[in-house]
Every structure is written in structure tokens, then in C-alpha cells.
Amino acid sequence: MKISQPNFRKPTRSDWTLMAILWAMAFPFMVFGNLGRPWWFILTGWAFDVLIHSGLAILMVYILFPAFLFTRRYLMLFFSLLGALLIFATVHRFGLWLLHYQDQPFRWFSVITSLVNIAPQASVLAAVLTGKQFFETQQRLVHTEKERAEAELRHLKAQIDPHFLFNNLNVLGALIERSPEQASAYLHRFSALYRYLIRNKDEDVVPLADELAFLSDYIYLIRQRFGRAYEIVTTMRIADTLSVLVLPGSLQTLVENAVKHNQSSDTDPLLIELTITDEAVVVRNELRPKLTPVDSTGTGLRNLQARYQLLSDKAVLVQPTATEFVVTLPILRPAVVESNNPFTVSK
């Protein structure tokens, strides 16, 4: 198995600041433990401790851990840590002797005493620095995930305008050839619908009442072109449509999908049923596939499902059967959208 390369990095300015704060907090305890001694003696000892303990902690966090812990070479980590502790303990004991902190001459067995002295303090400092690195890494991951999700959401929303334009220009083109007057009225309603999408293009959700008004205009366009070929029935089982939310253009997408992919006639209309409750909008229609393949980009339902996944833990359910096509669109509420939206900033 190939071992990944260690990800070494240097201490940042915030790392040095954190260590400076920790050692500044430790200085009064150093002074208290050496009361009665000259100030230069205390300051020199404190500076020496800072050098030894910080050096060992930096070696552990920025060199040994990336080289061996994060690459899962634990045996190498153990021997490297042991070697580093012995070296720093030896330097510590020798330094104390040179600085006259020890009355007795340097002895090799006294290195064990220094090892016991420096290991806990250096380990605590290393743990603090490692915890800081972990926290910063998590923050970077969250920030990266937010940027990815935001880019994905905006990309999906951007696809709605071309999708809507593509399908309705086909309708308008057919009307122009058949009846310029109807085409003019159709264009007026179509412009109103497009203004709605433009007005809400930066909105993740809209009140259900607004979306129902938008759908009413869209149904008008459908009836102007197809007459009684499509019968669209809406059953309301919800009292308040202002305080609940759906995605802008979502109901139009579902009705448009049924109209585009199913054949019908004035004598045998296709029934499209919308049942709206407190929990969901269920759009149901009989399956009557058109004999001629429909020219479609195929982005409508997929975009709708993907946008819901980014904004809520509720999914759009597409449930085709042998005889009918059913799509269940969840009803959202402001608190749910805020808790699931990765771009919401707490106030």
C-alpha cells in the first residue's frame, strides 16, 4: 500500500500568538515558584522553559505528527517521539546545569527527571496546537462545503430560465402560425410569467400563495393553446397558503411536465390533479405517452429534486406506475428552510 506524503506546514501567526498567550499566563506561576531569587534568574529560567517546551511541541505537531501519525506509521511515531523526548530532556538538563539552576554536576541519569518534567507540559501545548489545527480544518471544510453547495444551487437555478424559455417559445411559435391574436395574448401572459421568475430568481423559496397565482397564469396559457384538451383541477386542503413555502416555478414545472409528455384531445382530455395539503402538493396524471418523441432538455424534474436536496431534508418523490404519473412536492416552512439552508447566517 502506498503511503501518502506528509502534509507539513509551518506555524501560522495565530499559532505563535496562541503560544505567546499560554506562556504569558504561565509566567506568574514561574515567578511564584522562585520567589526570593534575582529577577534575571527567573526571567532566564522562564525563557529557557519556553524554548525547550515550545520547541518540542512544535516538533511534534508540525513535523512528527504529519510525517507519521497522519500517515498511520505508528511505530515510527513512537520511536521518533521517544528519541525527541530524550534529546530535549538531555538539552534541558544540560542547560539547567549551565545556567546554574542545578547545584550538582551534570549526570546522565538525571535526564529522566527532565524527561518527566518536560513531557507533560510539552504534550499539553502540543494538544492545544493540534486542537486548534483540527478546529481550523473543520472551519475550512465547512466553508468549502458552503461554497460548493452555493455554486451548485445557483447553477441549478440558472438552468430553470433556459428550460422555461425553451418550452414556452415552442408554444408561442405554434400559436403565431395559427392565430396572431392569440399569440399576442399568450405573449402578454408569458411575459408576466417570465417577470415572476426574474423577480424570484434569487429566492430559494416563495410563499405557496404566490406560486399558485403564478400557476393560474400558466394554466391560462395552456387553455389558450389546447382548449379543453387538458383539464387541470386543484383541490385545496390547506387553510393558509401564505405562511408555507415551495420553490419558485415548481408547480409550473410539474404541470408543464404532464402537458409535454402526454397526449390528449378535446374529446378525451387529460386530467391533471393537484391536491394541496399542509404537508405536500401531489400532482397526478394518467400516463398517455405521446407517439412522437418530445423535444426536451430533461432538466425540469432533476433540477427540482436537486434543489430540494440542497434546501431541505424532504425529497421530491417521483412515483410512476403502469397507468399514472405521480409527483409529491413537499411543503416547506421557514424554520425548516433556515435550519437546512447552508447559507443561513445566525442572527
Quote the pLDDT of residue 252: 87
- Per-residue pLDDT reduced to its tens digit, 247-303: 988 998 899 889 888 999 999 999 999 999 999 999 999 999 888 766 665 567 888
Quote the pLDDT of residue 118: 81
Contact 59, 68 (CB under 8 A): no
Amino acid in position 5: Q
Task: Report the run of H or E that residue 336 belongs to, with start and end.
Answer: helix 334-340
Q: How far is CA 274 from CA 46, 206, 233, 252, 342, in A?
A: 77, 18, 6, 11, 31
The Cα–Cα gap between 64 and 62 comes to 6
Quote the pLDDT of residue 110: 67
* 317-320 vs 324-330, strand pairing mode: antiparallel
Please report, for the chain, the start and end positions of each structural domain, with discontinuous segments joined by +.
13-152, 159-340
Please give the chain's pLDDT, 347 residues, in tens. 334 445 556 888 888 888 888 888 877 776 776 666 777 767 777 788 888 888 888 888 888 888 887 778 888 888 988 888 888 888 877 777 776 665 555 566 667 777 777 888 888 888 888 888 888 878 877 776 666 666 566 655 655 567 667 767 877 887 788 888 878 888 888 888 878 878 887 788 999 999 999 999 889 878 877 889 999 999 999 989 999 999 988 998 899 889 888 999 999 999 999 999 999 999 999 999 888 766 665 567 888 888 888 788 888 999 999 999 999 999 998 865 554 554 443 33
CA angle 268, 271, 272 (to 5 degrees): 150
* Residues composing the chain: 347
Closest CA to 88 of 129, 51, 62: 51
- Per-residue pLDDT reduced to its tens digit, 115-158: 777 888 888 888 888 888 888 878 877 776 666 666 566 655 65
The Cα–Cα gap between 255 and 234 comes to 11
Which cell numbers hold the place of 30?
514561574
The Cα–Cα gap between 94 and 55 comes to 16
Amino acid in position 241: T
The Cα–Cα gap between 91 and 114 comes to 9
Quote the pLDDT of residue 215: 92
Quote the pLDDT of residue 115: 77
Which cell numbers hold the place of 239?
387553510
Closest CA to 11 of 71, 89, 65, 47: 65
What is 159-340's CATH topology? Answer: Heat Shock Protein 90 (3.30.565)
Quote the pLDDT of residue 157: 63
Amino acid in position 294: V
